[in-house]
A and B are shown apart, each in its own frame.
Chain A
Amino acid sequence: MPMFRFDPYSPLVDADPFPAYKTLRDEHPCFWSEEAGMWILSRYHDIVAAGNDWQTYSSARGNLMTELPGRAGATLGTTDPPRHDRLRGLIQQAFMKRNIESMGDNIRDIARQAAAELKGRKQIEFISDFSSKFTVRVLFAVLGLPMGDEQTVRDKAVLMVQSDPKTRAKGPEHIAAYNWMQDYAAKVIAERRANPTGDMISQFSLAEIDGDKLDEREVLLTTTTLIMAGIESLGGFMSMFALNMVDFTDARRQCVANPALLADAMEESLRYNTSAQRFRRSLQRDVELHGQTMKAGDFVCLAYGAGNRDERQFADPDKYDITRKPRGHLGFGGGVHACLGMAIARLAVRVAFDEFHQVMPEYLRVQEKLDWMPSSTFRSPLKLELSIK
C-alpha cells in the first residue's frame, strides 16, 4: 500500500479535501505532512483543544498556512494574548452584533442593487456578477473606505491569499498584491487621521484604552487584514453557499419559501463546506498526541474543514442538512481567535441571498467540474456559472 500523504498545496486538495481528511482522522489523527512542513490535526476534539490552549499553540508566528511577510506578530490573527486581547479590545466593540444591526438597511440596499443588475439574465457567473460586487461594497461601507477603487481592491485581496501551487510559497504576484494593499491601507489611514469620520478605520487608528494606542505597524496591518479577511473570506464563503444552494435544490426551495431558514442553512454550509479550511499555529513546547511527539517550534495545522466533518462530533457528517443547527462548528474558528467579522458575515450573507433569491429563485449549475482557487488556507471555486430557469 502506498504511504499516505497529505499535501495542502495540491490542486486535488483544493478541489476535494474530504477523502483525505477522513483518512487523516481515522488513521493519522496527528500527521506530519512533509509537503506542508507541519503537523495536521483533523479531529474536532483535538482542534478545539488546541484552539483553547493558545499558551501552547501560538499564533504569533503566523496563522495563514502560507504566511505573508511581516504579518506575524502584528495583527489580531497573528498575536497571542495578552497583546492580542488588547488589540481586539480596541476594535471588537464595532464588530459586535448589536452594533452591526444598524447597518442592516444599508447592506440590504447594496444587496438589492447588486441583485437588480441580474434581472432578465439567462446565465450569470455568480462571483463576478454578484458576490464580489456585493462583498466589496459591503466592506467598503462597513469599514468606511472611499468608493472608487472597489474592483482593484477586491482583485488584490483575492490574489494575496493565494499561493503558487508549484513553489508552495507566495509568488511575486501575491506579494505585490499584498504590498499594494498595505500602501492602499496606509493612504486611507493617513486620510482618516487627518479628517476623522465616525467610520471604523478612524475609530481604531485613533482608539486609546488607558493611554494605550495601536502602533503604526499594528494599525497598518490590522487594516490590511480586515480588508483581506472581509473581502476574501466573505466572498469565498458566499460562493460556497451558492454552490450548496444550487446543488441541494430542496434546501434552496425551503430557503426561498421561508428566508428565515437562510440563517440555519448558512451555519450548515459553514460546517459542511468550510471556506476557511486550514489555519496554523506554532508550538511553544513539546506535545505528545496520539503516540506522536510534536516538538517545540513545529508548526501545526488546525484543519477546521476536517473537524467539521468528524463523525465523532457530527452525526452523518457528509450529509447536508439545514435542520442540523451545528452549534460549535469550526467554520469561524473558535476561542480567542474566533472570527471577528462573524456578525457582519452572518447578516450580509442572509440579506444577500434573500435579495438574490427574490430575483432568481430557481437556478441550475452550468459547469460539471469546477476550478478551485489555489490556496492552502481557503477553499472556494474560481467561477460559478448558474443558468436561470
Chain B
Amino acid sequence: MPQITYIEASGQSTTVNVPEGWSLMQGATANGVEGILGECGGSCACATCHCYVDEPWLAKLSAPTEGELEMLENTASERKANSRLACQIKATAALDGMVVHLPESQE
C-alpha cells in the first residue's frame, strides 16, 4: 500500500498506508488525521480537504478537473500554486512516499 505522510499546520506528522484506489482524503479521515475534514464525502463540493502537495510529487498527479479548480477557489486557507483537494487524488503505487502539508484551517 502506498505510504502517504500528512503534515498538519501544527507540524504534527502522520504517515498512513492508504489502499490503492482510496483518495488521500479517505486515507486521512479513516486514520484520524485531524487537518482534513472531507465534509462532502469526496464529491468535490466542499473544499474542506484542501492540501498542499510537496513539489516533487505535484508533477506526478493528473491535472485537476474543472470541478476541482472551481472548488479550489473556495478554500478557507490561502490557495497556493501547489493547492489540491485531497479527495480528488487517488493513492497509487507511483505516489508511495508522498508528502502533503495541511492548511491552518478548513472551514
**Does A339 count as interface, using CB distance less than 8 angstroms?**
yes
A52 lies within 8 A of B41 (CB): no
B41 lies within 8 A of A334 (CB): yes
A327 lies within 8 A of B29 (CB): yes
Residues from chain B with Cβ under 8 Å of A338 in the complex: 40-43
Residues from chain A with Cβ under 8 Å of B78 in the complex: none
Give the contacts of B20-51 with A (CB-CB under 8 A).
21-23, 26, 29-30, 37-43, 45-46
Q: Per-residue CB proximity of B50-91 to A under 8 Å, as 1/0? A: 000000000000000001000000100000000000000010
- Rounded to whole angstroms, the CA-CA distance of A24 and B16 in the bound complex is 27
Residues from chain B with Cβ under 8 Å of A372 in the complex: none
Give the contacts of A312-354 with B (CB-CB under 8 A).
313, 327-328, 332-340, 342-343
How many residues of B are in contact with the other chain, CB < 8 A? 19
A48 lies within 8 A of B22 (CB): yes
- Rounded to whole angstroms, the CA-CA distance of A95 and B23 in the bound complex is 22
- Rounded to whole angstroms, the CA-CA distance of A73 and B10 in the bound complex is 46
**Does A92 count as interface, using CB distance less than 8 angstroms?**
yes
Given contact pairs A335-B43, A338-B42, A340-B43, A313 touches B30 in the complex (Cβ within 8 A):
yes
Interface residues of A (CB under 8 A from B): 44-45, 48-49, 52-53, 88-89, 92, 95-98, 313, 327-328, 332-340, 342-343
Identify the closest chain A residue to B25 (Cβ): A328
**Does B19 count as interface, using CB distance less than 8 angstroms?**
yes
Interface of B is mostly: loop
Interface of A is mostly: helix
Residues from chain A with Cβ under 8 Å of B23 in the complex: 52, 335
B43 lies within 8 A of A328 (CB): no
Residues from chain B with Cβ under 8 Å of A48 in the complex: 22, 26, 30
Most buried by B among A53, A95, A334, A339: A334
Q: Smallest distance from the beta carbon of A90 to chain B beta carbons, Å?
A: 12
Residues from chain B with Cβ under 8 Å of A343 in the complex: 40, 45-46
Apart from A45-B19, A335-B42, what 8 extra A-B contacts exist at CB < 8 Å?
Answer: A44-B30, A48-B30, A52-B90, A97-B46, A327-B29, A328-B26, A336-B42, A343-B45
A52 lies within 8 A of B21 (CB): yes
B43 lies within 8 A of A336 (CB): yes
Q: Smallest distance from the beta carbon of A209 to chain B beta carbons, Å?
A: 10
Given contact pairs A49-B21, A53-B21, A342 touches B40 in the complex (Cβ within 8 A):
yes
B26 lies within 8 A of A342 (CB): no
B45 lies within 8 A of A328 (CB): no
Most buried by A among B29, B37, B43, B46: B43
- Rounded to whole angstroms, the CA-CA distance of A342 and B90 in the bound complex is 23
Residues from chain A with Cβ under 8 Å of B30 in the complex: 44, 48, 313, 327-328
Identify the closest chain B residue to A55 (Cβ): B21
Given contact pairs A334-B41, A342-B41, A96 touches B46 in the complex (Cβ within 8 A):
yes
